[in-house]
Structure 1
Amino acid sequence: MSEPQRRQSRIPIPPYTPPESPKPPLPVSLAHRMASRSRSHSRPPTEFVKQGKNLVLRLAGVQVPGTELPVYGLGAAVEGTLELTKPEGITSIEVKVEGTLQLQEIAEGGTDIIQLCLESAVLWSKHIEGPICPSSLSFALKLPKSYSDRKKTFSLPPTYSEHLAGVPGFTAKINYIIHIIVNNQKPTSSLVKSAFLGSSTQSLSIPFMYSPRTRPATAIPPPLMQASTNLGLKQSPQWRMFEHRMASRMPGGQDVTSRFYIPASRIFCLKQSIPFHLTFSSSAFALASLLPFLPIASLISPKNQHTKIELLRQSVVDVRSKAHAEVKTDMWRVDCIGRGTFKRAGDGPDWISFVGEISVNDNITLGGFKASGLTVKDCIVLSMTPPDPVKCPVRELRQVVPVLLTTDTHESSVLDEASVHSVPSTPSENDQRSEVGHGAT
């Protein structure tokens, strides 16, 4: 089955300005969630402008070049000014900031809508502040950093859209909108008694992107040093090894051991390549018979790439029927969002070593997250799949290593809001099928 093509819209991240004070020492947490500064003396302020009937909305400092929608980060304040060209007859004005998560199951018809946030404020009321509405009104509503669905509390998830075509299938959407509601008194003939005076409502809705920023707590470590012993690599606590033994298919044959090394934190900026080391060790005869399936063959003929390192993203949706709440109804799709490239690093009598890096696709602009009934998670998959497995001297190789992607590099100067992400635990051999599965259960 061919891989599904990802339909993720490119979500820009809000701009930030380095803080003037020295960078504080990093805490021991694995990763930090960040908030961007919305104002800077060194950068001219930008604004998003939306015009409606008899009104103009100006949102301060949220227009990112090349985007059509305003963009906000973690805990940001939705600040703006409402300008009224005809304030006469207005009875009240209200502003609302709303976020929703919608999960819909195709075929079964199950739909779940979760309210993520609903912040509101009355900007002006005739009954409280007098008969004449000002021609300009300012407001500021702060976005929450988390929400609760009465069962669990989650970090406020980013703007997101995904679907799995076919039957069964699903659609998942996370949307955020600013609503401006203006109530007017209807113009009425003087012959009509005041008791029959009516009112009309005018509204202006502006979708916006919520894109919280994150960065790793540690930088990418230096590459492992080459050595003539210990399978060609000097060990380092900054790197973690994932070992797998491929059993021989030949009677009396030697097994082959793969050792896959990546930075120990397993937290990477999606703008940076992810480095890795890979070694295979066994008897000289077993390695020689395995050469046609190792990365060395793909360096000569890229089409014959049997050993692959891929970065996969799994989007999981659970729309549980109210009548059968105990029934597991997970559906998921898996997309390849990055691939590894190999270079031969060295070899010895009983080992061969490779070095390389994984580049994340340019259209990926957010990391994994978890919300009510929706989980987006990433993992690196090392695999060796021969065209004819029976002719391969060893059994297939498949290793799954969960990782976390962040929006910014460790070196980025941003404000630490002390929110923490942790990398999922490494799945067991029995769990690896479901970790990167595709379909529904």
Structure 2
Amino acid sequence: MESIPPSYSPSASPSYTPSPPSPSYSTALLPGEQTVEETRWTGSQTHNIGVFRRITDNITLVLRDQQPGSIKPSYGRNALIRGHISLRSSEGLTDVTLMLEGQIRTETSGTTLTTTIVSTSYSLWNSSSTEPCPKTLPFMTFFPSTFVESGQSRPLPPSFENKSERATCSYTLSVIVSRPRRFLSSFRSSDALVVPIRYHPRSRAHTPMLPSDAPFLTTVKTSPEEWRQVLCTMNTTQRSGLAPVQCLLFIPSVQIYALSETIPFHLQLRGPPSSLAPFLDKTSGEISIRVYLLRQVIVKAFDDPKTASRRILGEAKLTYCSPLPENHYSYRNHPLREGNDCLDWDGELRCAEDDTVASFATQTLTVRDYIVLSLDPLEPMKCPLLATKCSHPIRLVTDSWSDRVMTW
């Protein structure tokens, strides 16, 4: 049965009285008041107010929200691309298009491969419009954060250029203005303005690490979960008859570090005094002990991965620690066996170069980072210990851990 709504009469509506104005409000506390909880503003840390301009004879491109004085436009993850295009003349045009493109270019074995990861066009005006083309065309769009690779969505890699020029990831923003040819109306001619841009997505660790100035022996007892132990063995020559030396490198357990961050570590060498003697006695030659950050660039062509380059980002200076008490086994997985001893060093790692590109991986181009421990006798013919090298994978990110929400 269909219900019939009641009849409506304007006179039946209640009278309306305007609400009183809201009371004034101030964040300043009155006497006797206290803040129970506070939510801070979660906007970006810096507000870019600069403007980038690229001017040619016929086209002017203006990009907003840039750092003042920047020579290349820069955008982060899901960043807003906004600005306008100014045309010297808008007569006789067929269309005006804005195009964002990204490419990975790799070179291996004399073969250069180019992979397109972004190709998006935005029509700002075309001849099908009923309105004539204006001389100024504003635009606003978002920078994509992902691309499709082998049918899967992956994070868009940052702008990257290998110094050997064998591998690059680059992005461009283009303005294409088309018009019919003067004598062949079925063909079009076009003017293009191409601007290289920088894609710089921010990233950070999911948990903080201990301060770099926190003493290792103190924190490893109170917070052992904060340290990751990396093990390797330094073997000896067969004729020496010495036992191998166990190498223990302790690094912050998060294993994700900011490019600008100082990474503390602790190195311990264990073994019988006779095996450790070459580190103290110089008669068999010195042993080089190095701990450094290594960046590896890998390119892949035709399912054949090859290392394009290796580069040291920063190297530590080790400080020898005073001998530990014999009963101090708090940070060892197993107590030292009878007759064994240990040598200890502290150190800090930090990127020496002003590198701003974090680790990333695609099928054709991968940038990996490692903490490397290297022990190398300078006179191998005299030393009873054999050289060893241990590479532990880590991830370098753009920002340190923070408990505040950030705009990426």
Normalising by structure 2, we get a TM-score of: 0.77
Equivalent-residue separation in structure 2 for 1:371 and 1:84 (angstroms): 38
The Cα shift of 1:112 comes to 2.4
Are residues 1:159 and 2:139 paired? no
Per-residue CA deviations over 1:108-154 (Å, capped at 9, x if unaligned) read x3x32211111211111232232x22222111222221111335442
The equivalent residue for 1:365 is 356
Q: Which has the higher contact order (CA 8 A, sep 6+)?
A: 1
Q: Which has the larger radius of gyration?
A: 2
Equivalent residue in structure 2 for 1:333, among 306, 309, 318: 309
The equivalent residue for 1:114 is 115
Contact 1:154 1:370 survives alignment (8 Å): no
The Cα shift of 1:335 comes to 1.1
Per-residue CA deviations over 1:375-425 (Å, capped at 9, x if unaligned) read 1101011011002224223332321111111111113855367xxxxxxxx
- Aligned pairs for 1:11-90 within 5 A: 21-22=39-40, 37=44, 43=47, 45-63=49-67, 65=69, 67-90=70-93
Are residues 1:174 and 2:169 paired? yes
Q: Name the Cα RMSD after superposition.
A: 3.0
The equivalent residue for 1:142 is 142
Q: What secondary structure sits across from 2:162 in the alignment?
A: strand
- The verdict on how the C-alpha distance between 1:267 and 1:210 changes in structure 2, with shifts beyond 3 A counting, is same
Contact 2:104 2:168 survives alignment (8 Å): yes
**Alignment-mate amino acid for residue 154 of structure 1:** R
Q: What secondary structure sits across from 1:318 in the alignment?
A: strand
Per-residue CA deviations over 1:64-112 (Å, capped at 9, x if unaligned) read 54x41100111212211112232233332111111111222243x3x32
- Aligned pairs for 1:408-419 within 5 A: 408-411=399-402, 413=404, 415=406
The equivalent residue for 1:247 is 235
Q: Which runs of 5+ in 2 are unaligned?
A: 1-37, 327-340
Are residues 1:184 and 2:192 paired? no
Contact 2:98 2:175 survives alignment (8 Å): yes
Q: What secondary structure sits across from 1:286 in the alignment?
A: helix
Contact 1:97 1:141 survives alignment (8 Å): no
Q: What secondary structure sits across from 1:415 in the alignment?
A: coil
Contact 2:250 2:267 survives alignment (8 Å): yes
Equivalenced residue count is: 350
Equivalent-residue separation in structure 2 for 1:22 and 1:339 (angstroms): 38
The Cα shift of 1:312 comes to 0.8
Contact 2:296 2:307 survives alignment (8 Å): no
Contact 1:258 1:281 survives alignment (8 Å): yes
The equivalent residue for 2:125 is 124
Equivalent-residue separation in structure 2 for 1:217 and 1:196 (angstroms): 59
**Alignment-mate amino acid for residue 391 of structure 1:** K
The Cα shift of 1:235 comes to 6.7
The equivalent residue for 2:291 is 309
Equivalent residue in structure 2 for 1:288, among 259, 265, 277: 277
Per-residue CA deviations over 1:340-398 (Å, capped at 9, x if unaligned) read 11112221462221111112122321121111311110101101100222422333232
The equivalent residue for 1:269 is 258
Equivalent-residue separation in structure 2 for 1:197 and 1:400 (angstroms): 62
| Percent pairwise identity | 25
Q: What secondary structure sits across from 1:314 in the alignment?
A: strand
Equivalent-residue separation in structure 2 for 1:370 and 1:96 (angstroms): 25
Equivalent residue in structure 2 for 1:226, among 217, 222, 232: 217
Are residues 1:388 and 2:379 paired? yes
**Alignment-mate amino acid for residue 265 of structure 1:** V
Equivalent-residue separation in structure 2 for 1:177 and 1:392 (angstroms): 55
- The verdict on how the C-alpha distance between 1:312 and 1:225 changes in structure 2, with shifts beyond 3 A counting, is closer
- The verdict on how the C-alpha distance between 1:393 and 1:224 changes in structure 2, with shifts beyond 3 A counting, is farther
Contact 2:172 2:197 survives alignment (8 Å): yes
Equivalent-residue separation in structure 2 for 1:172 and 1:48 (angstroms): 27
